[in-house]
Amino acid sequence: MTRDIHPFILVCGAGSIVAACSGGGGPGPGALARVADAPAFAALAPPAHPARDQAWPSSAEYMPVITPPFTEIFARLTAAKPALMERQLALMASRYDLSDRPARGVTMSRGKPVQEGVRVRLPPGVTWAMLAAMSPAEIRAKDLWPAGFYPLPHTNQVEGGFVFPRVQIDETKKQEGRDLTRFDLDFDTPDAFLPELPPAIYLTSRKDLGDVSRGKLVTNQNFFELFEGIVSPRELDGLRLLVTPFPQQQFNLTSDRRSERPSTGATCFDCHANGHTNGAYHLAPDARPEAYRHRINTPTLRGVNMQRLFGSQRALKTIEDFTEFEQRGAYFDGDHVIGAKKGLNILDRGAQVANMAGFQELLDFPPAPKLRPVDMKLDPARATQEELRGQAVFFGKGQCANCHAAPIYSDNFSHDLETERFYTPREINGQVAAGDGPIKTFPLRGIKDSPPYLHDGRLLTLDDTIEFFNLVLELKLSDGEKRDLLAFLYVL
């Protein structure tokens, strides 16, 4: 089977073929043939990736179960890595201002500074006010949608898979001797824009204890001493499974892996660090071909007990379902065939999944001392004037509360923000940006603890999210209203 059988097809509106369908690697041999077969469509060539193309001829459907020897894959992908990283880091630098600028006096729960300012770069000569004055159609026609508002591709969109931040890799190696380094690529978002590591842990069942992390990253080396006696034996067993490595596409014991040495796998908490998130990312398993798969940034598990939809796009209905789905689906890119070869671990629903869900459902949002527990809105006696004005914008002109409703600041629905109103589809580093579709309304409680934002981590600061929604919802907020809104988001 070769790639030619599965050319990437993109529907392009009349006249938009050049803008929408150019860029990237140029048409592959089969793509041109397919254009002739289907005159109504223009084919978007698969992004060129010679190393991967030779090692792995088709990424569009089933992966080949027999792969070249490990030494061959290792040599090819290691050689291809510098160019790949250069391309991705150049993309990041062109989309964002990545300088380290902590906001004065605003920190995450355990003290890591929050980054300030809008970091998405504007097209030359354009201001946020100018964009806000234009209609979506005008922004689209003039090609002015800021680069950082487009979907963010995976470091290597064709290959995908788990990518962990360096701090997580270092601490896991130190504690367990397990190495989460990939030889074919590195993490792309600077540390200043990631959640703190280790993050705090709050338990719904023991609010009196406050942060129970004791400043440690919870792993299989310390979970027992940290949690014995404060959770039930059943939840302690669930936590054991959440910190137990299980095989996965890139981290496994076969020769088809992306760790230098054979690996026992990844744990749930390698991404959901301390039940929160460290900003690790991979690709949603759902869509095909690969160029249409969405990058997904790890969401926090805080407050899952209050939620009804799980996964930014799949919208599974229970924590138990999502826990099973992670290993059976997401760990192997939705390819159960390759999963069987690499050691897919099937969890027992009654004994194991239930215990894992039990622990996750104890994870609470961080305290919000300025909110009244009864309705989780500001207590006027403790809030500043700026925060109170921000709350008024949030529940009024900003329309935020239509979807982000108190008490957890989510409506437990998905919404299609239709960002594709603002741009013509295009390929960006191997990913086709053609709209996001319906996405879960993530809760905003404790939101300053979990950058970067949106399902793919495309926005680095809360200031960026305000500019994003100001355009998406066509709000025309004033600079003062934006500042007030930010002050309110900080105290959620």
Binding residues vs ligand HEC (CB under 6 A) = 162, 266, 268, 270-272, 280, 282, 284, 296-299, 301, 304, 310-314, 319, 322-323, 326-327, 356, 360, 398-400, 402-404, 415, 417, 436, 439-442, 444, 447, 450, 453-455, 462, 465-466, 469, 473, 485
Least Å from the CB of residue 206 to ligand HEC: 21
- Residue 77 CB, nearest approach to ligand HEC (Å): 19
C-alpha–C-alpha distance, residues 416 and 362, integer Å: 30
Closer of 90 and 340 to ligand HEC (Cβ): 340
* Nearer CB in complex with ligand HEC: 53/481: 481
The token pair at 93 is 């630098």
Specify the DSSP class assigned to residue 106. Answer: E
Instruction: Compute the least distance from the CB of residue 175 to ligand HEC, in Å.
Output: 16
Taking the least distance from each CB to ligand HEC, the nearer of 76 and 240 is 240
CB nearer ligand HEC, residue 4 or residue 176: 176
Q: Which residue has the tokens 């890591």?
A: 112
Q: Which is nearer to ligand HEC, 171 or 270 (CB)?
A: 270
Q: Which two tokens stand for residue 87?
A: 């391309």
- The CA distance from 113 to 490, in Å, is 12
Side-chain half-sphere CA neighbours of 16 within 13 A: 16
The residue (of 7 and 299) whose beta carbon lies closer to ligand HEC is: 299
Q: Output the smallest distance, CB 138 to ligand HEC, in A.
A: 21
Phi, psi of 398 (to 5 degrees): -75, -20
Among the residues of 96-149, which ranges form H helices? 128-132, 136-141
Q: Where are the beta strands (DSSP E) in 292-392?
A: 295-297
Q: Return the ∠ at Cα 454 (arms to 448 and 456), rounded to 5°.
A: 125
CB of 129 to ligand HEC, least distance (A): 16
Closer to ligand HEC at the Cβ: 109 or 298?
Answer: 298
| 31/378 with CB nearer ligand HEC | 378
CB of 154 to ligand HEC, least distance (A): 11
Instruction: Give min distance, CB of 163 to ligand HEC, in A.
Output: 8
Q: How far is the CB of 453 from ligand HEC (least distance, A)?
A: 4
Of 152, 298, 178, nearest to 244 by C-alpha is 178
Min dist. Cβ of residue 241 to ligand HEC (A): 8
Do 204 and 305 touch, CB atoms closer than 8 A?
A: yes
- Least distance (Å) from ligand HEC to the CB of residue 465? 4
Q: How far apart are CA 451 and CA 474, in angstroms?
A: 24
Q: How does 74-103 read in b/e, with b if 16+ C-beta sit within 10 Å?
A: bebbeebbeebbeebeebbeebbebeeeeb
Query: Which phi and psi angles does 459 have, rounded to 5°?
Result: -110, 130
- Beta bridge mates, 120: 96
Of 59 and 249, which CB lies nearer to ligand HEC in the complex structure?
249
**Closest of 448, 422, 441 to residue 433, by C-alpha:** 422
Q: Which is nearer to ligand HEC, 58 or 274 (CB)?
A: 274
Distances (CA, A) of 109 to 77, 119, 157, 234, 366: 39, 22, 33, 28, 7
Residue nearer to ligand HEC on the CB measure, 227 or 442: 442
Tokens linked to 27: 């048409």
Q: Are the beta carbons of 476 and 399 closer than 8 angstroms?
A: no
**For the purposes of burial, counting CB atoms within 10 Å of the CB of 105, is it exposed (0-12), middle (13-18) or buried (19 or more)?**
exposed
Q: How far is the CB of 402 from ligand HEC (least distance, A)?
A: 5
Query: CB count, 10 Å around CB of 135?
Result: 11
CB of 397 to ligand HEC, least distance (A): 9
Give the whole-angstrom CA distance, residue 199 versus residue 218: 10
* Cβ nearer to ligand HEC, comparing 24 with 398: 398
Q: What is the Cα–Cα distance from 27 to 40, expressed in whole angstroms?
A: 17
